A and B are shown apart, each in its own frame.
Chain A
Amino acid sequence: MRALIDVPLMLLVTYTMGFFMYGFYRQFMARIQNRRGPPIWQNLYDNLKFFSKSETLSHGPMFFLGPMIMMAGAVTTVLFIPMLKDTAWLQGFSASGNLILVMFLMVVGPLGNALAVGASGNPFGVMGVTRGLTRLMGLEVPFFLGLALIMVQYETVSISAIMAAQPTLAEWTLVTNPLIFLVVLLPFIASLNASPFDVVGAPVEVYSGPRVEFGGRLLGILMTQNMMLSMAKYVLVVALFMGGASNLLELFVKVFVLFMLTASISAVFPRLRTEQAVDFFWRIPLGLGVVAVILTLWI
């Protein structure tokens, strides 16, 4: 019964946080670049605008179903991540899942996108998908290495149990094992498709990415699921490193702090090409990860 309230609430929370954070991001970037920037509600406006477009171009049934798979993947991911600790609310179906499952669920969405853009027959879209999959190959290695260290540290794969094991600031993974956070931080930014690892859908230099053929309401779906999935990833990292949250306000503050950190990094560094990004991940974060393994397990 609780699921009936939990499910819409969790989706609403991620959606709200999503458009708020990304609206703020645009303001933040504008101020850094000495511009005035759009209002903080701009992402919500954009999203609603897409959903009220009268005409949408489709390239056949698979093209239509791809965004649906993406949305279903994002919804499932959100519902398998517990948002709060010490409460029975906003847990979704997280008791039936675990950290590794959530990480793999995040790839279901890109599969839907890849199928749809492949079905459209646009070679540029498929090039974008290949870039995305290549980047995924680069970022997942250090990302999972960090997560594995967390799982070894807490001897569980359950996100709730990892959250529960960090009741106070002194027990946050960020404090007890800051090296893991450094290992995970940059791959995490890349998994959000944020600068400097945003070559996949790079808006200016590269003509087009995986989104090339989408327009109208289908693009609205893509934007919605992207905001929700990104927020799910923030909630996950907050749960793993910053002790989770006991109430929505705490969750919001923690996500905001983390968001500011990633946004600052994104604002400063120039974009990397795909192969540079992969090579970077396999040198710096993975190298740090190996150091972390040696320090925490071997010694």
Chain B
Amino acid sequence: MRLFLRVLSLMVVVTPAVTWFAWDGALVWPLFGGATLSFDVTPLASFFLLLLAMGAPLAALPMLRKEEPDWQLALFALLVLGMQGLLLAQDLVGFFIGWEIMTWSSWLLIVRSPRTDAGTAASYILFNLSAAFLLLAGLLGVYSLTGSFAIQALVDLTLAQGLVLVLLFGAAFLIKIGTLPLHLWIPRSYDQAPEPVTVVLSALVSKMGVYGLLLMLILFPEMPGRWFGDWLNGPLSGYGLAWIGVITSIVATFKAIAQDDMKRLLAYSSIGQLGYVTTAIGVGGALGISGALYHALVHTLVSLLLFISFAGIIAQTGQRRFNDLGELIYRMPISFFGVLIGIIALAGMPPLPGFASKFLIFVALIEAQWILLFAAVILSSAAAFLYCYKLIYAPFLGQANSPEARVAREAPWPYLIPQIILMGMLVGLGMFPGMGTALADPVLAALGLAPLDGPSLGTLATPYGGYDGVTLMLVFGIAFALVTALFYMLRGQLRRAGSRQDLSFAGEVPTPDQPLHYGAGMGRELRRIPLIGWILARSSSGFFSGLAERVERLAEHSSRLYPSQPWRWVQSFVVVFAVLLTWGLVRGGGL
């Protein structure tokens, strides 16, 4: 039975890949009363289906371990089905059904974890249900305006109608992406979810919000240029969204630096990275959209890689705080390389593809002449170096700071295989950055934008100039090989330090029991910088508890309107209903 369940779940998990390769022709599924659900692979859906097809099997591997419970893989299969349905749906009803399946199955995955507390479970489902209800309101609005649920361009809207719909849909998707201040559910749920589930939440589920935001460009084709005109060279309607994205990424980056728990740090970094995507969608145009898609692709690969690596560390040591690890580099070398490749891509350093996607976003901002936004993106991108260094230093370098870290062994193969595959994919994509834009070009064509069309897969080409990934990788690789070989030959007498305490330590020799790890302290002194101190001293949970307090006070006031006996509430309800009914009948319209 158990084996059967696992095989069945695994088959479901590879269905996105099958769909991506083998789909031809649309599928229409008739429901009752002439209503139909239709499914098809549009270019935009195809891009995100590819992310799902790559990510789902890799994320499933750690779930196959004996230690992981059965229900996890089964619920994950359901989650994959939900996301797939959402992507394939050609009408808003199918989209909504897929969205709900995704929401509930991911919630069940989180809520069954022993580490999840009631607050986290409640915040996850509250935020995601509000997203779903906003979506529902939006799709009913679309139906009332057009008489159809089909996902198609809505033209001839008045500005007010358009704005209401855009706000409803936009808020729903921004909750899913985790834009400030709607991100509150992300750090705690990513932290408390079982490790293999966090991988899925960050890498795949959050991308559905990005898909939704891009879907809005199809629904509202007149929004970018025509509604408010341009600001400098970009659409004014996207300017606000771009600032929302960049402020999200700045605040999330500083919050990430201040964390002392690995998964929480990664959760904030995930929020920050998706902030760039929001910014890029705000800029729009061929460069912006392809930068957004590219960054979504890179972030999927990177967050898969990093969350799986850290899942391996947590599985092997049982420690999840930076302070309690250290010196794992020679005990877990493959995980070390996984995290190293991951942070280089996350920080956007060449030659890995994190640079390619950021380059597209930078050039899009330069083309739009939104230079202040450009500087803000640079701020968050440069600050990200700090937490990237914390991610590699605290677990792998420095001095082992707990008994578990001293005896840890390399993570088991279900963690290592996906890491190795993902490292290969990231390096390959770094060498051939044109692959990402080639994948994004059909989406650009579907949105009516000019594709970027690089001359070869090795080149990332933009109208402002580009770079050649193959040359870059080769120059760096050859320089590194030559320098290392030459120096190794001329190294002279290379003496290995006698012990881990054989350090230049203010003229003293530290003892083994002296705490020499700098894991948790890193970044603490940043609070002395006024701006960062100001950001870190605030939190959006204050905003929400203030909101809750207001609502409670309002409820208190309105409860005075009711008498104290419950039956009187029913009575007054009946009276109000009767009055309304009469009023409606007198108006002569019926109900």
B399 touching A121, Cβ below 8 Å: yes
Bound form: Cα–Cα A97–B506 in Å: 43
Flag the segment in A82-90, A153-161, A230-238, A252-260 that touches B: A153-161
Q: Which A residues are CB-close (under 8 A) to B504?
A: 122, 124, 208, 212-213
Complex partner residue of A68 from B383, B462, B480, B505, CB under 8 angstroms: B480
Decide: A148 and B374 in contact? CB cutoff 8 A: yes
Residue of B329, B363, B389 near A157 (CB, 8 A) is: B363
Q: Which of A76, A96, A293 contacts B468 (CB 8 A)?
A: A96
Stretch at the interface among B165-173, B269-277, B303-311, B491-499: B491-499
Given A121-B397, A152-B371, check contact A64 B494 (CB 8 Å).
yes
A64 to B480, CA, bound (A): 12
Q: Which of B77-85, B183-191, B348-356, B553-561 contacts A (4 or more CB under 8 A)?
A: B348-356
Give complex CA distance A270, B110 in Å.
54
> B357-395 toward A: CB 8 Å interface, digit per residue (1/0)?
001001101100101101100110111011001001100
Indicate if the CB atoms of A108 and B467 lie closer than 8 Å.
no
Residues of B within 8 A of A208 (CB): 504
Which of these binds chain A: B15-23, B402-410, B482-490? B482-490
Q: Is B464 touching A119 in the complex (CB atoms < 8 A)? A: no
Task: Specify which of A55, A75, A144, A157 is in contact with B495 (CB 8 Å cutoff).
Answer: A55
A126 touching B382 by the CB < 8 A rule?
Answer: no
- Verify if A202 is at the interface (C-beta below 8 Å from B): no
Q: Which residue of B lies closest to A277 (CB)?
A: B529
Contact in complex: A56, B493 (CB < 8 Å)? yes
Known A-B contacts A115-B392, A140-B382; A59 and B516 likewise in contact (beta carbons under 8 Å): no
A158 pairs with B475, CB closer than 8 A: no
- Within the assembled complex, what's the spacing in Å between the Cα atoms of A60 and B355? 30
Q: Is A265 an interface residue (CB 8 A)?
A: no
CB distance from B170 to the nearest CB of A (A): 27
A23 at the interface (CB under 8 A from B): no
A119-B329 contact given A213-B503, A289-B375, CB 8 Å threshold = yes
In the complex, the answer to whether B349 meets A111 with C-beta atoms within 8 Å is yes
Report the bound CA distance from A16 to B525 in whole Å: 39
Contact A141 B378 (CB under 8 A): yes
- CB <8 Å contact, B467 and A101: yes
**Surface stretch bound by B, among A29-37, A41-49, A241-249, A278-286:** A278-286
Which residues from chain B contact A156 at a C-beta distance below 8 Å? Answer: 464-465
Across-interface contacts of B327 in A (CB, < 8 A)? 121
- Determine the main DSSP class of A at the interface with B: helix
What's the Cα separation between A296 and B385 when bound, in Å?
Answer: 31
Whether B518 and A126, one on each chain, are in contact in the complex, defined by CB atoms closer than 8 angstroms, is yes
With known contacts A118-B398, A151-B464, A217-B492, A136–B529 Cβ distance under 8 A: no
Tell me the B462-479 residues at the A interface (CB within 8 Å).
Answer: 462, 464-468, 471-472, 475-476, 479
Q: Which of B363, B372, B378, B494 contacts A58 (CB 8 A)?
A: B494
From A73, A108, A141, A207, give the contact of B382 (CB < 8 A): A141
Cα distance A158–B350 when bound, in Å?
16
Bound complex: CA of A68 vs CA of B489, how far in Å? 13
A133–B389 CB distance below 8 A: yes
Instruction: Report the interface size for chain B: residues with CB under 8 A from the other chain.
Output: 75
Chain A, residues 46-73, CB within 8 Å of chain B (1/0): the string is: 0000010111111110101101110111
Q: A79 touching B475 by the CB < 8 A rule?
A: yes
Contacting pair B374 A145 (CB below 8 A): yes
Interface residues of B in 296-352 (CB under 8 A from A): 327, 329-330, 340, 344, 347-350
Given the known inter-chain contacts A65-B484, A127-B518, A148-B374, please indicate yes or no for A72 contacting B495, CB distance below 8 A.
no
Name the residue of chain A whose CB is nearest to the CB of B399. A121
Confirm or deny: B251 has a beta carbon within 8 angstroms of a beta carbon on chain A: no
Q: Which of A62, A75, A158, A221 contacts B397 (CB 8 A)?
A: A62
Contact A57 B389 (CB under 8 A): no
Could you say which of A72, A136, A158, A275 contacts B483, with CB atoms under 8 Å apart? A72
Contact of A105 with B by CB under 8 A: yes
Question: Quick one: closest B residue to A74, CB to CB?
Answer: B479
Q: Which residue of B lies closest to A136 (CB)?
A: B382
Known: A71-B483, A114-B393. A96 touches B350 (CB 8 A): no
Residues of B within 8 A of A58 (CB): 494-497
**Bound Cα distance from A105 to B396, whole angstroms:** 24
In contact, A93 and B397 (Cβ under 8 angstroms): no
Q: How far is the CA of A101 from the CA of B358 in the complex (A)?
A: 10
- Quick check: A152 and B505 within 8 Å, CB to CB? no
When distances are taken between beta carbons in the complex, the residues of chain B under 8 Å from A158 are 465
Decide yes or no whether A269 CB sits under 8 A from chain B.
no
Asked if residues A72 and B467 are in contact (CB atoms below 8 Å), the reply is: no
B171-209 interface bits toward A, Cβ cutoff 8 Å, 1 = contact, 0 = none: 000000000000000000000000000000000000000
Verify A98–B467 contact, CB threshold 8 A: yes
Closest Cβ of chain B: how far from A288's Cβ, in Å?
12
A134 interface hit (Cβ, 8 Å)? yes
Residues of A within 8 A of B506 (CB): 124, 207
Nearest-Cβ distance from residue A275 to partner chain B, whole angstroms: 4
Known: A107-B349, A111-B344, A275-B528. A293 touches B389 (CB 8 A): no
B509 within 8 A of A: no
| Known interface pairs A60-B330, A93-B475, A151-B366; A217-B349 also in contact (CB < 8 Å) | no
A221-B487 contact in complex given A118-B393, A152-B371, C-beta closer than 8 Å = yes
Is B591 in contact with chain A by the CB < 8 A criterion?
A: no
**Known contacts A136-B385, A148-B374, A207-B506; is A57 also within 8 Å of B497 by CB?**
yes
CB–CB B472/A97 < 8 A: yes
CB-CB contacts of A135-147 with B at 8 A, as 1s and 0s?
0111011101100
Among A59, A111, A127, A293, contact of B371 (Cβ-Cβ < 8 Å): A293
Name 8 interchain pairs, CB-CB below 8 A, sorted by A.
A68-B484, A122-B503, A137-B379, A141-B375, A141-B379, A145-B374, A151-B464, A157-B462
Mark B residues whose CB is within 8 Å of A. Answer: 232, 327, 329-330, 340, 344, 347-350, 355, 359, 362-363, 365-366, 369, 371-372, 374-375, 378-379, 381-383, 385-386, 389, 392-393, 396-399, 462, 464-468, 471-472, 475-476, 479-480, 483-484, 487, 490-497, 500, 502-506, 516-518, 522-523, 525-526, 528-531
- Given contact pairs A76-B472, A297-B369, enumerate 14 new A-B contacts (beta carbons under 8 Å): A56-B491, A67-B487, A68-B484, A72-B480, A101-B472, A104-B348, A111-B344, A114-B389, A115-B397, A121-B397, A126-B393, A133-B389, A140-B382, A145-B372
Binding site for B on A (CB under 8 A): 51, 53-60, 62, 64-65, 67-69, 71-73, 75-76, 79-80, 93, 96-98, 100-101, 104-105, 107-108, 111, 114-115, 118-124, 126-127, 129-130, 133-134, 136-138, 140-142, 144-145, 148-149, 151-152, 155-158, 161, 207-208, 212-213, 216-217, 221, 274-275, 278-279, 282, 286, 289-290, 293, 297-298
